[in-house]
Amino acid sequence: MRLGKQSRLGMGLFIVLLIGAMAPSSSARAQASATPEDWVKQLAGLDAAPDIEVAALRQQVLERVKSKADGVTLQRPPVATQLLKLPRFAVEIKFDEDSAVIRPESYRTLGRIADTLYDPALLAYKFLIVGHTVAAGRRESNLTLSQKRADAIRGALVTAFKISPKRLQGIGLGEEQLLDAAHPTAPINQQFEVATVGKAF
Amino acid sequence: MSPIRSILSIVLISAWSSASAETMKFEDAAGILGASCAKEIETNCRGVSLDPARLKDCLLRNQDSLSAQCRTDYVRAFDAIQKRLAARSAVAKICERDAVKLCGGIPKEGGQALECILTAARGVSARCNQAIGEAGYR
C-alpha cells in the first residue's frame, strides 16, 4: 500500500513531535551534561564571607509561613534574597514521594556533588544545601519537607562520602523562594541548590 | 628473554600498574550502585537513604533475592568509595614532607597545601605524585 502525500507529511510531523517529546528539557539536558568541573567554576568566586546565620534564616522563613504573609504565590517575594548573591548551582535530586528518602537514580548525582566538593580549589569552603518545593499543597508542609530533604542530602554527603560536616549546612525554603516564580508548579521548582557560603578553615 | 623472566616482568608491571591506578570517581561508584540495585533497593530497602552502613546491611540481609548484577555491583561500588576515601586521606600523610619543602605548610583540611603541590612544576616526590594520582586529584 502506498501512502498518500498528506499522510506521509502527517507521519513525518508525528515523528518530529515524538522525538521532541522524548528529548529531555533544556534544563535537564544542561544538568545531565554538567561535570564536577562546571560546578566547581559555579561555586568559586565568593568575594567576601557574607553574613548568613542559617539558624536565624530558618526562623525567618518559618515566621513568614506561620504568619501566612505573602499569601498570593505569584506575588510572593523571595524570602532570603541574600542567598541569591551567592555562587551556586541548581541540581535535580529525586526523592520518594512526600519523603526524604533519596531515590537510587540520584545516587550518581550525589556522587558528582561529592566529587565537586572534594576539588582542591573548594576544600577550604563551606556550603549550604538549599531545598525547594513547588507551590502546591500546604506551605508549612512544603517547608518541613524541603528542610528534611536538604538535611538528607547533607547526611548522604557526610556519611557516604565523608565530606566534613563542618563544611555543610542544610536549609529548606519550601515554596518561599521559587526557582521559577512565573510557573509556581513547574518541576524545576523542586530542584536543590548548592551555594558557597564562606570559609570553613 | 627466558619464560621465567618474562612472567616475572608481567607480574611486576601489573603489580605496579594496579598500585598506581586512579581510584574510581564517587560519581561512577555511586552511579553503579544506583543503576544496578535500583529495583532491589526499592523492593527490599524502602525508607533507606544513601547511607552505606544501612544500605549494605539491608542488601546483605536480602542477598538471596538480589539479581546477580546487583550482588556483584553493590560490593564493588562500596569498595570503590572506600578505596577513594582511603587514597584521599593517605595523600595528607604521604605528601607531608613535600608540602613542607615546597609550600611551607602541611596538607591540612583546608586544601591550600594540596593546591600548592598540584601546581608545583617540579620537586614533588614520586611517592607523593603517585598518592595524588591514586586519589584522583589530577
Per-residue pLDDT tens digits for A104-146 = 999 999 999 999 999 989 998 999 999 999 999 999 999 999 9
Nearest alpha carbon to residue A117 among B96, B25, B118: B25
Which of A21-25, B15-19, B78-82: highest mean pLDDT? B78-82
Residues in chain B with CB shorter than 8 Å from the CB of A200 are 109-110
pLDDT (0 to 100) of residue B26: 98
pLDDT (0 to 100) of residue B57: 96
3 state SS of B50: coil
Q: Which of B26, B35, B49 sits opposite A102 (nearest CB)?
A: B49
| Interface contact B105, partner A, CB < 8 A | no
State how far residue B137 is from chain A, nearest Cα, in angstroms: 7
pLDDT (0 to 100) of residue B38: 97
The pTM of this model reads 0.84
pLDDT (0 to 100) of residue B4: 57
Q: Which of B30, B34, B114 sits opposite A120 (nearest CB)?
A: B114
C-alpha pair distances (Å), A63 with each of A51, A71, A140, A149, A176: 20, 13, 10, 20, 11
pLDDT (0 to 100) of residue A1: 39
> What does the alpha-carbon distance between residue B69 and residue B25 come to, in Å, rounded to a whole number?
20
Chain B contact probe: residue of A99, A108, A109 with most B CBs at under 10 A = A108
> What does the alpha-carbon distance between residue B50 and residue A162 come to, in Å, rounded to a whole number?
12
Model confidence at A28: pLDDT above 60: no
Work out the number of other CB atoms within 10 angstroms of the CB of residue A196: 21
pLDDT (0 to 100) of residue A17: 45
Residues in chain A with CB shorter than 8 Å from the CB of B118 are 120
The mean pLDDT of chain B is: 86
pLDDT (0 to 100) of residue A109: 98
State how far residue B14 is from chain A, nearest Cα, in angstroms: 28
Q: Which helix (H) or strand (E) holds A127?
A: strand A125-131
The arithmetic mean of pLDDT across residues B12-21, rounded, is 54
| Interface contact B67, partner A, CB < 8 A | no
Say if the Cβ atoms of A104 and B41 lie within 8 Å: yes
Model confidence at B9: pLDDT above 70: no
pLDDT (0 to 100) of residue A169: 97
Order across the sheet with A168-172: list the strands. Answer: A88-91, A192-199, A125-131, A168-172
The mean pLDDT of chain A is: 87
State how far residue A22 is from chain B, nearest Cα, in angstroms: 21
Say if the Cβ atoms of A107 and B31 lie within 8 Å: yes
Cα A146-A148-A150 angle, rounded to 5 deg: 65
> What does the alpha-carbon distance between residue A89 and residue A84 come to, in Å, rounded to a whole number?
11
The arithmetic mean of pLDDT across residues A141-169, rounded, is 97
Say if the Cβ atoms of A107 and B46 lie within 8 Å: no
Share of chain B above pLDDT 90, in %: 62
Share of chain B above pLDDT 70, in %: 81
Give A13's pLDDT tier (boundaries 50, 70, 90): very low
pLDDT (0 to 100) of residue B108: 62
Q: Which helix (H) or strand (E) holds B18?
A: helix B3-19
CB B107 within 8 A of CB B91: yes
Higher pLDDT, A175 or A47: A175
Give B121's pLDDT tier (boundaries 50, 70, 90): confident
Say if the Cβ atoms of A201 and B108 lie within 8 Å: yes
